[in-house]
Structure 1
């Protein structure tokens, strides 16, 4: 068992030293910590409702490559991030 002897150190000094080191470690961790946001998926109907268009328009956007559909079985989904990427700014 490893023993540490603290000579000429008051309890308050020890507490301050531990707190400072812990704060530095936490700050370093938070600088590098980037939580991953969960993906949001939308159905064809939800995308159509979002843009207030008909589902056939969503189909045409997929055929033209504007939207990237994802599928599971016979279900079609769209990533919210992909939907946001397909929007382009208009020149005013």
Structure 2
């Protein structure tokens, strides 16, 4: 069955708020489903890019802007899974 969404008389700000709230709720549910073992897991750059479906350059920019925190061990960078997921939640 085809599902169609028809938007009538909705302003840009209201639509943006609806989308933001929906995404926030979904991300909170994902965070609740992870066990403490999962939350302390360290991920490589490649694993983070795959998890978040982003390009390496985007991860680099986010790290430099402080949106996500990287941990350096020798010449490698690692990211904590729980910190990554928390950084995705929209803060009001």
- Normalised to the residue count of structure 1, the TM-score between the two structures is 0.54
How far off is 1:85 after superposition?
A: 1.2
The total of aligned residue pairs comes to 56
> How do residues 3-82 of structure 1 correspond to structure 2 at under 5 angstroms?
37-38=36-37, 39-82=40-83
Q: Which has the higher contact order (CA 8 A, sep 6+)?
A: 2
Write out per-residue CA displacement over residues 24-53 of structure 1, whole angstroms, 9 at most, x where no aligned residue. xxxxxxxxxxxxx34201111111111111
Are 2:70 and 1:87 equivalent residues in the alignment? no
Aligned equivalents of 2:61 and 2:42: distance in 1? Answer: 19
More helix, by proportion: 2
Aligned equivalents of 2:82 and 2:43: distance in 1? Answer: 10
Write out per-residue CA displacement over residues 8-37 of structure 1, whole angstroms, 9 at most, x where no aligned residue. xxxxxxxxxxxxxxxxxxxxxxxxxxxxx3
Q: Determine which structure has more spread, i.e. the larger CA radius of gyration.
A: 1
